[in-house]
């Protein structure tokens, strides 16, 4: 997903995943889609996830940031927060994503910040605010993830993803 070495994770979380043989920065990325879209995660904890995405290459025919690109950034950030909340015994699966697009952006970098609205045993909901380089709100999103238990065989997939 790009240069993930600069992501700030809480040390206890890094240690928890390292004990399982999992490369945490690689696991908590946007994957192949995020790579193509230029998503970069700069900070990640269950309390706050921050990431950026370039507008260039992620536009619709009118030259504006594509709403789907904002949705990808929002779901990526909210999913990372949900996974960190759930811990290594849970897998976060997005079940509801709502995005309200407030203004168009034609260039530069957008920044998303995900913060928790609800963190339970079986679900986690995050609000994601995406702003342009001037700090103006571009999109407000809400993501709810189901937190399901890791099942036999999931560990192999998780290790392969990292």
Which residues does the annotation mark as catalytic?
Answer: 75
What tokens were used for 108?
């530069």
Check residue 159 and report its DSSP letter: H
What is the helix, strand, coil percentage profile of the chain, to 5? 30, 35, 35
What tokens were used for 148?
């399901």
Residues 87 and 53: their CA atoms lie apart, in Å, by 26
Q: Using alpha carbons only, give the angle 152, 156, 159 rounded to the nearest 5 degrees.
A: 135
The number of C-alpha atoms within 13 Å of 98 and in the hemisphere containing its C-beta is: 5
């Amino acid at each position: 997903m790009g240069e993930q070495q600069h992501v700030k994770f809480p040390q206890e979380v890094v240690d928890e995943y390292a004990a399982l043989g999992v490369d945490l920065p690689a696991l908590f990325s946007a994957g192949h889609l995020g790579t193509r879209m230029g998503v970069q995660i700069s900070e990640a904890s269950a309390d706050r996830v921050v990431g950026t995405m370039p507008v260039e290459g992620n536009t619709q025919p009118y030259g504006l940031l594509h709403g789907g690109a904002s949705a990808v950034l929002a779901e990526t950030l909210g999913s990372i927060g949900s996974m960190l909340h759930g811990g290594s015994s849970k897998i976060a699966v997005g079940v509801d994503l709502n995005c309200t697009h407030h203004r168009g952006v034609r260039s530069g970098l957008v920044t998303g910040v995900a913060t928790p609205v609800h963190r339970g045993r079986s679900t986690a909901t995050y609000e994601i605010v995406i702003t342009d380089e001037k700090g103006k709100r571009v999109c407000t999103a809400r993501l709810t993830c189901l937190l399901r238990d890791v099942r036999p065989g999931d560990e192999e997939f998780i290790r392969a993803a990292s």
